[in-house]
């Protein structure tokens, strides 16, 4: 089949690669020219295990071609929409999805299947089908087919999860779901469950909201553990030995493109709600402040004047192993610190624009705060690094330091035991 993938970001590029490597001819439409050029030269613009080898192969075999020209999509039998769905002033910004749909309306033929993979508020896929009907004069379920196939992959494991995760596929018409199932069977080995488009939208948003609310609960436990003199990580490990308890991990906050906005997408058109989901968001959004409070407690203990202090934030990415800084709590932390301490430095081995060498970053510094759980941060030689620092303060915002390093003032989110 000729397949058009619209939006070649963290989701669209791996998806385009998977369709291409399972034998389809894929045209990837992307508005960013720099991204298109990089992809066509066989290099990915994002960090993800296996992506460069896989991309090189499908580009060399001429199975995938990126383009900025919508007309290159003509003749496609299926279109997969993978554009971003951010918040704008706390409301879902669906303009990217709508623009993609308008582009498809200009180039699609009768019989085409349009799949929205982007995470969208309930009702959006049906609305987009109606928009396509208005723009083309054709009818969904008769002349073309629209489905929602929400993406569930976890960055860092995308190529495995694309194949082995189960998928929910919701059709605007029942036939749309069946056609989309057949298409995804090109590479999906997990189960595929068919439902309506609006149910599929709600399922996706419920999954991420479940995670966000559970992380908020863990964060609240962390704050309580600090007051009770308990190590929350040990307490969680023990509580999770119960057969029906699965507490999440507390930390400096919840970032990424999805978890911080998907609960709001779920609530965006709701007439009634209980407020639990919003409260969980507030708890998670407040976590960088909790880390700053710990830092100031350490300053007081060490007799350091905050206005003269140099603080190093270790990690800018929203979680370990990625270069993605969207909605990262580390960025929020940096912003908070910039107004309250003398100098803020950053070090992240995955993110450009930060210090290249951790030793340079820590030289003459008064404190380090771990904001991202990069693997590299779990085994840092603190004895050696401490000797470069002016004051040895270490704040663990990610619960990755089990044993506080010697001669440091060590505090951590949820570490009431230190
Ligand atoms: N990043 C993730 O881990 C996951 C994301 N999702 C959902 O998938 C969707 C995409 O997310 P990401 O891939 O992270 O976003 P992204 O921002 O990395 O990628 C979107 C791409 O679409 C391009 N684009 C926007 N409008 C376009 C248009 N009209 N024509 C052509 N290209 C266009 C953008 O330039 C960008 O490169 C979102 O709805 C997100 O919620 C779902 C599961 C996981
Ligand atoms: C329900 C679920 O597990 N959703 C996944 C999630 O992926 P995402 O990369 O956002 O991963 P995440 O591990 O939940 O991390 C989000 C944020 O939450 C933080 N985090 C995560 C788990 C935890 O116990 N504690 C915690 O503080 C992370 O540090 C990070 O800042 O959201 C993805 C998405 O929709 O974009 C989705 O495809 C993934 O399957």
8-state DSSP, 373: -
Residue located nearest, by CA, to atom 22 of ligand 2 = 249
Residue with tokens 């298109």: 36
Q: Give per-residue pLDDT as tens, 379-396.
A: 999 999 999 999 999 999
Among candidate residues 229, 181, 156, the one with its CA nearest the CA of residue 411: 229
How far, in Å, are 76, 113, 403, 411 from residue 294 at the CA level?
55, 53, 18, 7
Q: Which CATH number fits domain 2-197: 2.40.30.10, 3.40.50.720, 3.30.70.1380, 3.50.50.60?
A: 3.40.50.720
Q: Averaged over 10-16, what is the pLDDT?
A: 98
ipTM confidence score = 0.98
Domain 205-418 has CATH 3.40.50.720: yes
Does this model's pTM top 0.90? My answer is: yes
The answer on pLDDT for 100 being more than 90 is yes
Residue located nearest, by CA, to atom 34 of ligand 1 = 7
3 state DSSP class of 313:
strand
Q: What percent of the chain has pLDDT over 70?
A: 100
Q: Give per-residue pLDDT as tens, 329-363.
A: 999 999 999 999 999 999 999 999 999 999 999 99
d(CA 396, CA 295): 10
Same fold, 2-197 and 205-418: yes
Q: Is the CB of 80 inside a 6 Å radius of any atom of ligand 1?
A: no
Q: Averaged over 82-92, what is the pLDDT?
A: 95
On average, the pLDDT of the chain sits at 97
Q: Which residues, 6+ apart, have CB-to-CB distance to 271 below 8 Å?
A: none
8-state DSSP, 68: S
Q: Which ligand is nearest to the CA of 5?
A: 1
How much distance in Å is there from the Cα of 295 to the middle of ligand 1?
A: 36
The pLDDT confidence band at residue 160, using thresholds 50, 70 and 90, is very high
Among candidate residues 200, 91, 99, 194, the one with its CA nearest the CA of residue 152: 200
The answer on pLDDT for 90 being more than 90 is no
Output the six-digit token pair for 158. 């995308």
Best mutation site among 223, 258, 265, 280 for ligand 2 pocket (most ligand atoms within 8 Å of CB): 258
Q: Averaged over 96-101, what is the pLDDT?
A: 98
3 state DSSP class of 64:
strand
8-state DSSP, 154: P
Q: How many other C-beta atoms lie within 10 A of the C-beta of residue 228?
A: 10
Q: Averaged over 66-86, what is the pLDDT?
A: 98
d(CA 149, CA 376): 35
Q: What percent of the chain has pLDDT over 90?
A: 99
3 state DSSP class of 244:
coil
3-state helix, strand, coil in the chain (%, to 5): 40, 15, 40
Q: In the chain, what are the domain boundaries?
A: 2-197, 205-418
How much distance in Å is there from the Cα of 97 to the middle of ligand 1?
A: 9
**Element housing 179 (H / E):** helix 174-184
Q: Which residues, 6+ apart, have CB-to-CB distance to 210 below 8 Å?
A: none
Q: Is the CB of 104 inside a 6 Å radius of any atom of ligand 1?
A: no
How much distance in Å is there from the Cα of 379 to the middle of ligand 2?
A: 23
Q: Which residues, 6+ apart, have CB-to-CB distance to 5 below 8 Å?
A: 12, 15, 16, 19, 26, 27, 28, 29, 79, 80, 82
How much distance in Å is there from the Cα of 353 to the middle of ligand 1?
A: 23
8-state DSSP, 372: S
Is 60 within 8 Å of 42 (Cβ atoms)?
yes
Q: Report the pocket of ligand 2 as residue ranges, CB < 6 Å.
A: 119, 151-155, 207-208, 211, 215, 248-249, 251, 254-256, 258-259, 318-319
- Position 342 scores a pLDDT of 98
The answer on pLDDT for 213 being more than 90 is yes
8-state DSSP, 242: S
Output the CA torsion 226→228→234→235 (10° steps): -120
d(CA 173, CA 410): 58
Q: Averaged over 158-176, what is the pLDDT?
A: 98
Please provide the size of the chain in residues. Answer: 418
Residue located nearest, by CA, to atom 8 of ligand 2 = 154
Q: Which residues, 6+ apart, have CB-to-CB distance to 30 below 8 Å?
A: 7, 8, 12, 36, 39, 66, 67, 68
Among candidate residues 335, 264, 277, the one with its CA nearest the CA of residue 94: 264
- Position 272 scores a pLDDT of 94
């Amino acid at each position: 089949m000729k397949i058009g993938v619209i939006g070649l970001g963290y989701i669209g590029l791996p998806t385009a690669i998977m369709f291409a490597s399972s034998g389809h001819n894929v045209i990837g439409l992307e508005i960013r020219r720099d991204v298109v050029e990089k992809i066509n030269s066989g290099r990915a613009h994002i960090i993800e295990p296996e992506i460069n080898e896989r991309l090189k192969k499908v580009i060399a075999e001429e199975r995938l071609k990126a383009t900025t020209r919508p007309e290159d999509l003509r003749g496609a039998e299926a279109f997969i929409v993978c554009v971003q769905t951010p918040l704008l002033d706390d409301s879902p910004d669906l303009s990217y999805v709508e623009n993609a749909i308008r582009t498809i309306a200009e180039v699609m033929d009768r019989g085409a299947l349009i799949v929205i993979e982007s995470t969208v508020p309930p009702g959006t896929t049906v609305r987009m089908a109606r928009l396509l009907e208005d723009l083309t004069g054709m009818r969904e379920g008769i002349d073309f087919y629209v489905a929602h196939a929400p993406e569930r992959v976890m960055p860092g494991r995308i190529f495995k999860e694309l194949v082995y995760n189960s998928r929910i596929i919701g059709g605007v018409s029942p036939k749309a779901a069946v056609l989309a199932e057949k298409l995804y069977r090109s590479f999906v080995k997990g189960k595929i469950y068919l439902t309506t488009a609006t149910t599929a939208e709600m399922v996706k948003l419920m999954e991420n909201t479940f995670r966000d609310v559970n992380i908020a609960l863990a964060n609240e436990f962390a704050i309580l553990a600090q007051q009770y003199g308990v190590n929350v990580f040990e307490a969680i490990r023990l509580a999770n030995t119960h057969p029906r308890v699965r507490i999440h991990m507390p930390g400096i906050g919840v970032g990424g493109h999805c978890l911080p906005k998907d609960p709001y997408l779920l609530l965006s058109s709701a007439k009634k709600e209980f407020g639990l989901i919003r409260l969980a968001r507030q708890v998670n959004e407040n976590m960088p402040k909790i880390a700053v409070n710990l830092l100031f407690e350490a300053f007081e203990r060490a007799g350091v004047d905050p206005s003269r202090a140099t603080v190093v934030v270790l990690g800018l990415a929203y979680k370990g192993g990625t270069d993605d800084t969207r909605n990262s709590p580390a960025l929020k932390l940096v912003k908070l610190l910039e107004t309250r301490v003398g100098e803020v430095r950053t070090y992240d081995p995955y993110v450009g624009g930060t210090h290249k060498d951790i030793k340079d970053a820590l030289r003459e510094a008064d404190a380090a705060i771990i904001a991202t759980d990069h693997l590299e941060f779990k085994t840092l030689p603190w004895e050696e690094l401490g000797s470069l620092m002016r004051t040895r303060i270490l704040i663990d915002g990610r619960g990755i330091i089990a044993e506080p390093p010697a001669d440091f003032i060590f505090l951590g989110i949820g570490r009431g035991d230190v």
